[in-house]
């Protein structure tokens, strides 16, 4: 969709009184997440739901109080729904809420006292379902399900596993509608009109579809390893966004792309071969002439072993210094670029260049010593890491965090089942604490094709590779997601030409283009924005923007943040104000049913 130019926002307020949101009951604005259950499983599901809402930018309140939850037009039940989770009085309140026009969304409805509300007659859990097919594409909840890859998504690879994530199938009563089914035809997602409201039941928890894959334990659900659009995790997050946009008016979102653009393209290069150091300068020059910057992940291999010489030499560092002078961002691509990185012990946290024994390599050693060298030789602060071969040791993010890194890009988007950046976990294990490290998944890679490692981008396949990459970028644009491209600068003919053609095609077309670090800094800043819609004393609606304390950042620029608010015919977007009432000077741009507000 084409957009008009940014203009200074007209600070009209909406007319007094929230326009009646079709049948929703009167009360507070926004989404309530009603958390239930105290088991480890329930806590993981609750965490996963909060993470998904934050990832797609939906403001929400969390409560254990049914009374508080049912004041909002959309309630997301989080933690599993059994017969024991609520008292009979609370259950009655939830039934009344839907009957009077509320919209209730629950996952894993197991307790039969809830069946009449959801229009189901049975619920059967299993770990033997591997596909979900969305069928009722006109339901507002499925607004973002349009591509073939989204209409059928994968829960795991049945060729490799006999059991995958948990799922529940529902037996459906007359009157309820099936929105999605598993491969054998049983219902995976249902909606039941109950009174004037709607009750949605999804047979998959967000722990299963989102949290487990983000720990890179996703049962190889991706249908291809790289260089294709894999929405099998994102469709469930986008289901929440679609439900929100359909039921909360006016909807308000924290945008997912820097500078208020429709999509983003992250540029990165892995410098892990002798010739790549000098070649990097050619790439950096080309990118500078097009006005864009990229991230160069440098292997600091300073010793010779059976795989290669110590190619991290002063001469080669000189090329990288010039890359940096042209605006290139420098990250670490480890010390030894070892195929065994995932089996390295964590090692001593205080290891440094002077005492690192490269014959007994460690995760800390690879992360800290490469940073020490790059910080020393390039005079900056190295904030980003990408492992060789996208290997992902269990403790990688915890180690990176302790070593002072801000972002990592050691996973493929297909592997973690998301095309959005996210805050990873210190350990790849359920129950791990969140990391402050932002994970930026790689979607597009010149060096890998399907299944076996082979060169995807060659002189002969350049046109086909370009078409594939553009297709993935367009698919992500439809979802407000981001594509991260990896090109190894081992060649300055067809590789350089293909990147240039890609940039010339997407440049200026509602696409933010930048470094992995800029995207990560944007994502960290975004997490501190807590907007909500409020009514002032004079009746006008305003967006109150609360901004949490800034984390310690370097002086690198952070791309602008944007909010998205539902467009309403005849009235301008609400003003954006600070909690003390100061009106912020935002620029606005209308696109279809929404207005983008670019924050100063
Ligand atoms: Zn590499």
**pLDDT score at 551:** 53
Mean pLDDT of 152-157: 95
Can you tell me whether residue 463 is helix, strand or coil? helix
CA of 486 to the centre of ligand 1 (A): 10
C-alpha–C-alpha distance, residues 489 and 295, integer Å: 12
Three-class SS of residue 35? strand
All residues at 6 or more sequence positions from 239 whose CB lies less than 8 Å from its CB, including other chains: 141, 142, 144, 145, 189, 202
Q: Give me ligand 1 centre to Cα 267, in Å.
A: 15
Residue 468 has a CB neighbour count (10 Å cut-off) of: 17
97: its two tokens = 């809420």
Q: Is the C-alpha dihedral spanning 466, 467, 472, 475 positive or negative? A: positive
Read off the pLDDT of residues 68-102 as tens digits, 9 standing for 90 and up.
999 999 999 999 999 998 999 999 999 999 999 99
Q: Quick check: 406 pLDDT over 60?
A: yes
Alpha-carbon gap, residue 512 to 309, rounded angstroms = 38
d(CA 200, CA 76): 10
DSSP code of residue 397: H
CB atoms within 10 A of CB 343: 10
The tens digit of pLDDT for each residue in 107-128 reads 999 999 999 999 999 999 999 9
CA–CA dist 572, 574 (Å, integer)? 6
**3-state DSSP assignment of residue 591:** strand
The reply to whether omega before 250 is within 30° of 0 (cis) is yes
- DSSP single-letter state for residue 583: B
Provide CATH 3.40.50.880 ranges for the chain: 31-254
Distance 271 CA to ligand 1 centre (A): 7
Q: What angle do helix axes 276-289 and 314-325 make, rounded to 10 degrees?
A: 10
Q: What's the CA-to-centroid distance between 355 and ligand 1, angstroms? A: 24
Binned at pLDDT 50, 70 and 90, residue 144 comes out as: very high
The pLDDT tens digits of the residues spanning 509-519 come to 999 999 999 99
Quote the DSSP letter at residue 208. I
The DSSP bridge partners found for residue 542 are 534, 575
Question: Which run of H or of E encompasses 320?
Answer: helix 314-325
Fold of 258-524: TIM Barrel (3.20.20)
Among 285, 382, 267, which Cα is nearest to 325's?
285
Distance in Å, CA 334 to ligand 1 centroid? 9
Q: How far is the CA of 523 from the centre of ligand 1 (A)?
A: 25
Average pLDDT of the chain to the nearest whole number: 92
pLDDT value at residue 15: 34
CA of 412 to the centre of ligand 1 (A): 13
Ligand 1 centroid from CA 563, angstroms: 36
Cα 137 to ligand 1 centre (Å): 41
Residues 6+ apart with CB under 8 A from 447: 453, 455, 456, 457, 486, 488
CA distance linking residue 28 with residue 535, whole number of Å: 11
Distance CA 266, CA 273 (A): 22
Number of residues that this document lists for the chain: 600
Per-residue tokens: 28: 């507070």
Q: How many A from CA of 386 to the centre of ligand 1?
A: 8
Give 571's DSSP letter: B
Residue 4: CB atoms within 10 A of its CB come to: 9
Residues of each domain in the chain carrying CATH 3.20.20.370: 258-524
In the reported structure, the alpha carbon of residue 337 is separated from the centroid of ligand 1 by a whole-number distance in angstroms of: 6
For the chain, what percentages of helix, strand and coil (3-state, to nearest 5) are there? Answer: 30, 25, 45
Query: What is the percent of the chain with per-residue pLDDT over 70, rounded to a whole number?
Result: 94
Give the distance (Å) from ligand 1 centre to CA of residue 465: 20
User: Separation of 297 CA from ligand 1 center, angstroms?
Assistant: 8
At 180, the pLDDT band (50, 70, 90 cuts) reads very high
Q: How far is the CA of 270 from the centre of ligand 1 (A)?
A: 5
Q: Where does 31-254 sit in CATH, by number?
A: 3.40.50.880
Provide Rg for the chain, Cα atoms.
25
pLDDT at 218 exceeding the cut of 90: no
pLDDT at 4 over 80: no
Rounded to 5 degrees, φ, ψ at 18 are -65, 125
Distance from the CA of 375 to the center of ligand 1, in angstroms? Answer: 20
> Mean pLDDT throughout 225-252?
96
Q: What is the pLDDT of residues 454-486, one digit of tens each?
A: 789 999 999 999 999 999 999 999 999 999 999
Residues 595 and 557 sit within 8 Å (Cβ to Cβ): no
* Two structure tokens written together for 116: 């009449």
Query: Can you say whether residue 373 is alpha, beta or left, with left for phi > 0 and alpha for psi between -120 and 50 degrees?
Result: alpha
Mean pLDDT of 581-586: 92
Cβ atoms of 259 and 559 closer than 8 Å: yes
pLDDT band at 21 (very low <50, low <70, confident <90, very high): very low
How far, in Å, from the CA of 476 to the mean position of ligand 1?
Answer: 25
Kindly report the number of other CB atoms within 10 A of residue 538's CB atom: 7
Say how far residue 565 (Cα) sits from the centre of its chain.
20
The SS3 assignment for 582 reads coil
Give the Å distance between the CA of 309 and the centre of ligand 1: 15
Is 365:351 a contact under the CB 8 Å cutoff? yes
- Give the model's confidence band at 538: pLDDT under 50 very low, under 70 low, under 90 confident, else very high: confident
Beta 120-126 vs 131-134: how paired, if at all?
unpaired
- Integer Cα distance of 272 and 365 in angstroms: 18
Distance 389 CA to ligand 1 centre (A): 6
pLDDT in tens, 189-213: 999 999 999 999 999 999 999 999 9
For residue 264, how many other CB atoms are within 10 A of its CB?
27
* Distance of CA 558 from the midpoint of ligand 1 (Å): 27
* Ligand 1 mean position, distance from CA 312 (Å): 14
- CA dist 24 and 43 (Å) reads 29
Ligand 1 center–CA 438 separation, angstroms: 20
Neighbour tally for 561: CB within 10 Å: 21
276 alpha carbon – ligand 1 mean position (Å) = 11
Share of residues in the chain with pLDDT > 90 (%): 84
What is the mean pLDDT of the segment spanning 520-547?
91
- DSSP conformation letters of 228-264: S---TTHHHHHHHHHHHHHHSSS-EEE-SSGGG-SEE
- 408 Cα–ligand 1 center, Å: 14
How far apart are the C-alpha atoms of 381 and 389, rounded to whole Å? 24
Structure confidence at residue 225 (pLDDT):
84
Tokens at 350, concatenated: 């205080």
340: β partners: none
Q: How far is the CA of 442 from the centre of ligand 1 (A)?
A: 13
Query: In this structure, what token pair is assigned to residue 488?
Result: 């190894």
pTM for this one? Answer: 0.94
In the structure, what pLDDT confidence band is assigned to residue 548 with cuts at 50, 70 and 90?
low
Instruction: Find the mean pLDDT for residues 353-357.
Output: 96
């Amino acid at each position: 969709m084409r957009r008009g130019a940014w203009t200074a926002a007209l600070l009209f307020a909406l007319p007094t009184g929230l326009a009646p949101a079709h049948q929703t009951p009167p009360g507070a604005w926004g989404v309530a997440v009603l958390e239930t259950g105290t088991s480890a499983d329930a806590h993981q599901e609750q965490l996963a739901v909060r993470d998904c809402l934050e990832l797609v930018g939906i403001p929400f309140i969390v409560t254990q109080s049914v009374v508080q939850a049912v004041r909002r037009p959309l309630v997301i039940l989080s933690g599993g729904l059994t017969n024991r989770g609520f008292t009979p009085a609370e259950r009655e309140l939830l039934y009344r809420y839907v009957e009077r026009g509320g919209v209730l969304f629950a996952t894993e409805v197991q307790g039969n006292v809830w069946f009449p509300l959801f229009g189901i007659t049975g619920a059967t859990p299993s770990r033997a379902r591997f596909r979900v097919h969305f069928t009722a594409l006109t339901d507002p909840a499925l607004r973002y399900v349009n591509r073939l890859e989204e209409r059928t998504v994968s829960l795991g690879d049945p060729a490799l596993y006999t059991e995958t994530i948990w799922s529940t199938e529902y037996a459906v009563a007359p009157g309820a509608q099936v929105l999605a089914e598993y491969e054998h035809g049983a219902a995976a997602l249902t909606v039941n009109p109950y009174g004037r409201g709607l009750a949605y039941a999804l047979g998959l928890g967000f722990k299963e579809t989102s949290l487990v894959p983000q720990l890179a334990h996703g049962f190889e659900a991706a249908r291809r390893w790289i260089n294709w659009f894999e929405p099998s995790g994102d469709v469930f997050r986008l289901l929440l966004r679609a439900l929100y946009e359909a039921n909360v008016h006016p909807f308000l979102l924290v945008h997912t792309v820097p500078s208020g653009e429709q999509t983003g393209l992250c540029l990165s290069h892995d410098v892990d071969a002798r010739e790549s150091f000098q070649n990097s300068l050619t790439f950096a020059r080309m990118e500078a002439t097009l006005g864009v910057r990229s991230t160069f992940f440098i292997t600091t291999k300073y010793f010779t072993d059976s795989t290669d010489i110590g190619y991290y030499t002063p001469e080669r560092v000189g090329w990288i210094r010039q890359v940096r002078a042209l605006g290139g961002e420098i990250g670490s691509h480890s010390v030894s670029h070892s195929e065994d990185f995932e089996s390295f012990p964590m090692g001593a946290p205080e290891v440094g260049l002077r005492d690192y024994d490269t014959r007994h390599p460690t995760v800390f050693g690879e992360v800290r010593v490469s940073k020490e060298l790059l910080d020393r030789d390039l005079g900056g602060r190295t904030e980003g890491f990408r492992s060789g071969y996208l290997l992902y040791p269990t403790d990688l993010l915890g180690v990176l965090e302790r070593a002072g890194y801000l972002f990592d890009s050691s996973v493929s988007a297909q592997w973690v089942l998301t095309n959005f950046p996210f805050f990873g976990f210190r350990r790849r294990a359920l129950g791990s604490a969140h990391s402050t490290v932002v994970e930026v998944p790689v979607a597009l890679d010149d060096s890998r094709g399907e299944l076996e490692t082979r060169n995807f981008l060659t002189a002969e396949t350049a046109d086909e590779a370009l078409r594939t990459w553009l297709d993935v970028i367009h698919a992500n644009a439809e979802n407000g997601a981001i594509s991260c491209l990896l090109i190894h600068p081992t060649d300055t003919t067809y590789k350089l030409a293909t990147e240039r053609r890609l940039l010339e095609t997407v440049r200026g077309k509602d696409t933010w283009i930048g470094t992995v670090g800029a995207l990560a800094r944007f994502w960290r800043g975004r997490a501190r924005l807590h907007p909500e819609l409020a009514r002032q004393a004079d009746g006008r609606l305003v967006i109150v923007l609360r901004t949490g304390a800034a984390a310690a950042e370097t002086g690198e620029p952070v791309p602008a943040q944007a909010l998205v608010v539902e467009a309403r015919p005849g009235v301008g977007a609400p003003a954006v104000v600070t909690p003390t009432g100061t009106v912020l000077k935002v620029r606005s741009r209308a696109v279809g049913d929404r207005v983008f507000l670019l924050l100063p």
